[in-house]
Amino acid sequence: MPGPNTLYNLYEFFWKDGFGRIHEIQQKHTQEYGKIFKSHFGPQFVVSIADRDMVAQVLRAEGRAPQRANMESWQEYRDLRGRAMGLISAEGEQWLKMRSVLRQKILKPQDVAVYSGGVNEVITDLIKRIHTLRNQEDDGETVTNVNNLFFKYSMEGQIHVDNKLKAIQSQLDQGEEVNGGLLTYLLVSKELTLEEIYANMTEMLLAGVDTTSFTLSWATYLLAKHPEVQQRVYEEIVSNLGKDQVPVALDVPKLPLIRAVLKETLRLYPVLPGNGRVTQKDLIVGGYLIPKGTQLALCHYATSYSEENFPMANEFRPERWLRKDNLDRVDNFGSIPFGYGIRSCIGKRIAELEIHLALIQLLQNFEIKVSPKTEPVRAKTHGLLTPGDSINVRFSDRK
């Protein structure tokens, strides 16, 4: 199996800041070595896969508790501190137990729909904040570094989790009846310990805040740069909801284009440029025998930009997700930003709801435009795929 050696990787990652360019290195190595290649990082051996069919084969072959990349150091730290593992860091039967408990309240569309009211309250504050920030600029429209703005939107209310947990627990201790959402369910069901609930809430916040804010930032940037797409989305919103109706979860299926905008944004800028797995049995992939226990790197960024998977892959074309005869749909493993199967992102429904409702209300209120301060923004890898530069755009009032 072809691939770079240890010395090359040391040079690429430590001398040339490869850790900030993992997404670009995926593409480079795919061009040089093919769709499946090996890498050595000292004693660590990794097989990288940058082919949608091979990725599909690996994910479809997973057992009931797929194993992610090695997280032994995280496990050791938690054990040392006497802390529980959460859904992101847990493995095996422990992970399976947590997944089965958490999925009951946040994986079904009807369960997530109840959060529309709370999300819309935060969006109201977000729009007020945009008015405040743009009034500080000379043109009265520009907002600089929108990711800071969207980070606060994503984080809003999360600081109350600890107090919410304590309040619910106090009610339960006093024998009072408690109704509510996920936190209430976890405490009432008593299927997880309090430490496990804390661990899961912490990890879900960790996984959800940056991912949502980065995706909103990229979507805003792309819509500003493609006003013709933005106009079509706005017309779809107005024809279905009008200019003033506050959207809820049940409205989103009526708006296929805004859903396509999110899919295309995540194709171009997947939150996780790659994903890790450890094989749980021997596999033959791409003609190679991959032994049990091998570390795999699934190169989602490379497959997202493959012309074979997505014609005109470098272009922002949300309509590619609307054509029923097109392979650029859910059965295309070239773009699976939320993962696939039992270990897919458990917060997918909530993230989609937050982003869809935010984009709808932003476009109802503003025309998003390129600013003189808008520069071409390159992506940078910091674990997640982040904007490497400040995203600055104009929010002009709708007439």
299 in a known ligand binding site: no
Contact predicate 198/158, CB 8 Å:
no
Contact predicate 219/262, CB 8 Å:
yes
Q: Rounded distance, CA 326 to CA 323, Å? A: 5
* 3-class DSSP assignment, residue 9: helix
* 3-class DSSP assignment, residue 290: strand
Query: What number of other Cβ atoms are within 10 A of residue 372's Cβ?
Result: 9
Assign 3-state DSSP to the chain and report helix, strand, coil percentages, each to 5.
Answer: 55, 10, 35
- Backbone CA torsion sign across 207, 210, 219, 350: positive
Query: For the CA atoms of the chain, what is the radius of gyration?
Result: 22
**Residue in 293, 265, 309 with CA at minimum distance from that of residue 54:** 309
Enter the DSSP assignment of 85: P
Q: Rounded distance, CA 312 to CA 320, Å? A: 10
Q: Rounded distance, CA 303 to CA 349, Å? A: 23
Q: Tokens 């493959």 appear where?
A: 306
Q: Rounded distance, CA 129 to CA 126, Å? A: 5
Return all residues near 107 (Cβ < 8 A) that are at least 6 apart. 346, 348, 349
Q: Is 269 left (phi over 0), alpha (psi -120 to 50) or beta?
A: beta
Query: What number of other Cβ atoms are within 10 A of residue 138's Cβ?
Result: 6
Q: Rounded distance, CA 294 to CA 299, Å? A: 16
Tokens standing for residue 166: 């304590």
Tokens standing for residue 125: 């504050």
Enter the DSSP assignment of 14: I
Annotated binding site: 345
Annotated binding site for heme: 345
